[in-house]
Structure 1
């Protein structure tokens, strides 16, 4: 069982190769336009597929990536208004992977969610990496697999036992390579070696730098062990630096950047089923369209936003939606773009005594530069870890009043309802929020892991370069707001442990009240996303009249298209989504 932990395995930064053989930036550079497989998207999923398929030297693969390969670490010190890049693809501290700093840059899709009725009508950016590696190149570098019950539930939903955890976990050895942490500390009791691979593609490690609050977190799990039990193992990467790096120098793999896919083209009919073998793309609005052909399959790995958008533009979707935009219907499927689900977070912040937090690091350019210099020279120090050293997954009490009227939405009786993320500094991702200029803070972020709210991705127009309408529909069910309210109460109990008595001063924000209405108002005002959108091209049983793909991930009602990305997951996993994808 891969279940509720507090200790977490975080990824170590892997340097990107200095040269990429078959990497092209313009269509005219492609040596041909026909391949065995055309993969749409060089993100977390697409790169794995490219690597696996290219192991057969007789198989030709083209990967189309709308983004770029650039010195995307140039934004790394934007906090301090440095004018020159200090971090490139061969020097990338794990602490620097933060989606928020990509806003309004060429490395982000710059999506925005529609006004959210469950969040007081607020709208905000929804970051997605537009770069080699996709969002795995710009995320917080947390790698987990989730609960075994997630996979067993998928097997139950699809009627395909191949998705059972006992079958899926066999791939961990091929995928993962556990390596020592950057600081070389003794990891005995901090993870379970038998749960991890040692010869896989992706290097993972425990946090490479301890923080002063670590002992307080562990002490709290001992004091409040019934509610916040310690788990030594949950099961950590950038796919562009591992899977794609492994594949890119193989002569049978070509990668084209700046290739914005506009639609998949029907090329015929096989046994009465529309067949798709060609992919249309362009470099930018108004640029000539280019068509490439897949002899075997098109693999759509454009993510939970990009994948349904491309399907809809290709005439695969709800008839009324497509006809309203003048798009010819090729495959009628009203499930395309529906069933969107996401993890929602609330940043619960506490004012603490000075001395142990990392807040000064973010305010003082000299301190940050010293930390960066240490990492550049030794690969050690505070930047050798990701943004956090501890997180946990927990359940609501079985006696919770909500369960008298609503069935438990978790994937199983041991799977979680919510996540606790501990940060040793002020954190509030609410758009437009300005951090305080003074003081020290502790972030006890709570996130909803098993939401019941469902949203959608729909087309705003038939223009393939126009962003779709993204409506996660956050916190619109009784369970979701109840659960989030209870997570805030749980966080306050966590903060009241003896381990924090001489450290935490008071809550910083409007969550001191224990009145339901007050907590609901606080949550709806502060909540945002963990960027874990799934479900918009969901799996379902073969022959089912709902869902977008069969259990083998082939698109229903079409021939020649397979989808491999987070969009096929029917519900959010008990994990940050990089590992499951």
Structure 2
């Protein structure tokens, strides 16, 4: 989407100073046995490693396949988030299979391959999900510890609400009592106003029946339009590294190894008749020396929705037929591994606007870009302190929608959403590059309660081979119906008086998408992903005959192995997923500590 900063990305990727006890590759490690080994340093793994290492008696190793995030300027500048993937050194650079629901297109699927994982390269949107999300997790697992009320204590541990970069008066933009100011992760409202902000809010007043104002969507009540919170503090990105690992860098009981891809878990014996997986093979790259690392207590997988499922499969935990086809011997037959993937399909909708202050100019005019960067570097103010969206909204289809005559409502509850709208003061299409001229605004629509389910599976025993990644987007009537209705809702939103004289008309193929059939074709031809995949190692009730982990996040049918990341979510939440994953990690760390003591 934004290419003018790629030279910053590539050049600064070479700056890799080591901080604390960080090893640059597995051969540098001075020991190979720890009490706990955490694989993956993203939103979940960094939290688990930091929380476990708070106990000085426990030794922890955090294993990350990517490079260090230290000293790479674009990672720290909030507005440059869209330039960090795909096709950069910080991305796993996955690509999907041909997607039938997307007119057989393939799409790139960004995943952070760097210390901090996707929290180091994402768009930083922060919310917790709906009350119904967590209450449903508790219901399907039979564990009340996952319900909304119980998870409140982890919000307090995670969130640290701070003033926006411009220190504007936030009265009316949030409800302070719904937020924590004592957590590890800096969270703020935008410190850079957009020409859209006042118009968006004015529309919530004019069209309040369909697009009501939500005074604060972070507190579990997601429906309506409100202000977007982001993991930004003092105008700078706050990742799982800056929030959790930086305070832990000096701990003598925490080691971090970079450029260390986990390729296989090893069986180290049996406990109560179950295979015990307490060793892992890691290597810097294909063909490099391999080291065996061993956990005395537990191996914790936090490799992400794709990495965790793939590592399980490479280790012989998965569907026996799929493993056989890939040349991997089955240790535990579990057909649920790699299945049940759900995600928020994304569609960027653009309009031409009568506004010379759209942010499109920043990425066309080197002088303006440099001036904004200098302002950020000097005092952490200006456009570079914000994300691409200051306002966000979540909505339900009407109860009378025709789709409900043949499809049960898939939302987590009556106060959970079916689709989302994101408002941006520039062209943000991940599929089509921005035109060289013109000013634009975007309303990105996203499917929040999808009924399509996809999968990921390995195709060979080579851990460096690309997987078969099939999100299976837009393959149900409900998903297509909802995305069509979301586009129609965005058009109705811009028909409000607030946009008169400002919006000139739709841009791109949206111009010819008017009937339901035309909009459906437009959706299939342009939709992508918000990269919010979930569910490939889903949790289920302890006695369930499906699922990958029990409610305590221990892998079913094995010993010594636990999963703490977004792969365990049975349903993708009403949120951009980093927020819920941070909460999963906080509770996951507590569950591990309880067993340890």
Alignment TM-score > 0.5, same fold: yes
Asked whether the equivalents of residues 535 and 569 of structure 2 are also in contact (C-alpha less than 8 Å), the reply is: yes
Partner SS state of residue 579, structure 1: helix
Deviation, structure 1 residue 198: 1.1
CA distance in 2, matches of 1:105, 1:218: 36
CA distance in 2, matches of 1:121, 1:324: 25
Deviation, structure 1 residue 57: 0.4
Deviation, structure 1 residue 212: 1.6
Number of the residue aligned with 1:311: 312
Number of the residue aligned with 1:418: 419
How many residues align structurally? 548
Number of the residue aligned with 1:250: 251
Number of the residue aligned with 1:551: 551
Number of the residue aligned with 1:59: 58
Partner SS state of residue 102, structure 1: coil
Whether 2:78 is the aligned partner of 1:94: answer yes
Cα 1:17–1:27 shift into 2, 3 Å: closer
Report 1:208-219 matches (<5 A): 208-219=191-202
Number of the residue aligned with 1:441: 440
Deviation, structure 1 residue 449: 0.4
Number of the residue aligned with 2:120: 137
CA distance in 2, matches of 1:176, 1:434: 35
Number of the residue aligned with 1:283: 284
- Among 124, 145, 148, the alignment partner of 2:131 is 148
Structure 2: segments with no counterpart, 5+ residues = 1-14, 219-229, 232-238, 582-597
Asked whether the equivalents of residues 354 and 439 of structure 1 are also in contact (C-alpha less than 8 Å), the reply is: no
Deviation, structure 1 residue 71: 6.0
Report 1:445-524 matches (<5 A): 445-512=444-511, 513-524=513-524
CA distance in 1, matches of 2:429, 2:18: 38
Asked whether the equivalents of residues 40 and 63 of structure 2 are also in contact (C-alpha less than 8 Å), the reply is: yes
Partner SS state of residue 404, structure 2: helix
Number of the residue aligned with 2:226: none
CA distance in 1, matches of 2:212, 2:81: 29
CA deviation string 1:322-350 (max 9, x = no partner): 12222111111000000011100111111
Asked whether the equivalents of residues 68 and 115 of structure 2 are also in contact (C-alpha less than 8 Å), the reply is: yes
Farther-moved stretch of structure 1 (229-238 vs 556-565): 229-238
Deviation, structure 1 residue 537: 0.3
Report 1:152-191 matches (<5 A): 152-191=135-174
Cα 1:476–1:88 shift into 2, 3 Å: closer
Cα 1:72–1:363 shift into 2, 3 Å: farther
CA distance in 2, matches of 1:516, 1:188: 40
Deviation, structure 1 residue 88: 6.0
Partner SS state of residue 578, structure 2: coil
CA deviation string 1:288-344 (max 9, x = no partner): 211010001000000011000000000000011112222111111000000011100
CA deviation string 1:130-176 (max 9, x = no partner): 10000010000111101011000001111111111000112111111
Asked whether the equivalents of residues 16 and 71 of structure 2 are also in contact (C-alpha less than 8 Å), the reply is: no
Instruction: Give the RMSD, CA atoms, in angstroms.
Output: 1.5
Deviation, structure 1 residue 70: 4.9
Number of the residue aligned with 1:294: 295
Asked whether the equivalents of residues 54 and 252 of structure 1 are also in contact (C-alpha less than 8 Å), the reply is: yes
Asked whether the equivalents of residues 536 and 567 of structure 1 are also in contact (C-alpha less than 8 Å), the reply is: yes
Number of the residue aligned with 1:271: 272
Cα 1:351–1:255 shift into 2, 3 Å: same
Farther-moved stretch of structure 1 (207-216 vs 40-49): 207-216
CA distance in 2, matches of 1:25, 1:145: 34
- Among 140, 157, 181, the alignment partner of 1:198 is 181
CA distance in 2, matches of 1:228, 1:147: 18
Partner SS state of residue 510, structure 2: coil
Cα 1:101–1:93 shift into 2, 3 Å: closer
CA deviation string 1:28-78 (max 9, x = no partner): 3222110000000011100000111011000000011000015674xxxxx
Asked whether the equivalents of residues 72 and 107 of structure 1 are also in contact (C-alpha less than 8 Å), the reply is: no
CA distance in 2, matches of 1:104, 1:403: 40
Partner SS state of residue 38, structure 1: strand
Number of the residue aligned with 1:68: 67
Number of the residue aligned with 2:25: 26
Number of the residue aligned with 2:370: 369
Partner SS state of residue 518, structure 1: helix
Asked whether the equivalents of residues 203 and 496 of structure 2 are also in contact (C-alpha less than 8 Å), the reply is: yes
Number of the residue aligned with 1:339: 340
Number of the residue aligned with 2:40: 41
Partner SS state of residue 209, structure 1: coil
Asked whether the equivalents of residues 146 and 573 of structure 1 are also in contact (C-alpha less than 8 Å), the reply is: yes
Asked whether the equivalents of residues 165 and 380 of structure 2 are also in contact (C-alpha less than 8 Å), the reply is: yes
Deviation, structure 1 residue 478: 0.5
Cα 1:72–1:439 shift into 2, 3 Å: farther
Number of the residue aligned with 2:5: none
Cα 1:459–1:19 shift into 2, 3 Å: closer
CA distance in 2, matches of 1:136, 1:362: 23
CA deviation string 1:81-120 (max 9, x = no partner): xxxxxx266xx2211112x543333211111000000000
Asked whether the equivalents of residues 453 and 480 of structure 1 are also in contact (C-alpha less than 8 Å), the reply is: yes
Number of the residue aligned with 2:356: 355
CA distance in 2, matches of 1:467, 1:17: 27
CA distance in 1, matches of 2:438, 2:156: 45
Asked whether the equivalents of residues 346 and 528 of structure 1 are also in contact (C-alpha less than 8 Å), the reply is: yes
CA distance in 2, matches of 1:149, 1:170: 17
CA distance in 2, matches of 1:277, 1:284: 22
Deviation, structure 1 residue 26: 2.5
Deviation, structure 1 residue 226: 1.1
Number of the residue aligned with 2:6: none
CA distance in 2, matches of 1:490, 1:541: 38
Asked whether the equivalents of residues 259 and 284 of structure 2 are also in contact (C-alpha less than 8 Å), the reply is: yes
CA distance in 2, matches of 1:286, 1:262: 12
Deviation, structure 1 residue 434: 2.7
Number of the residue aligned with 2:409: 408
Partner SS state of residue 445, structure 1: strand
Whether 2:395 is the aligned partner of 1:394: answer yes
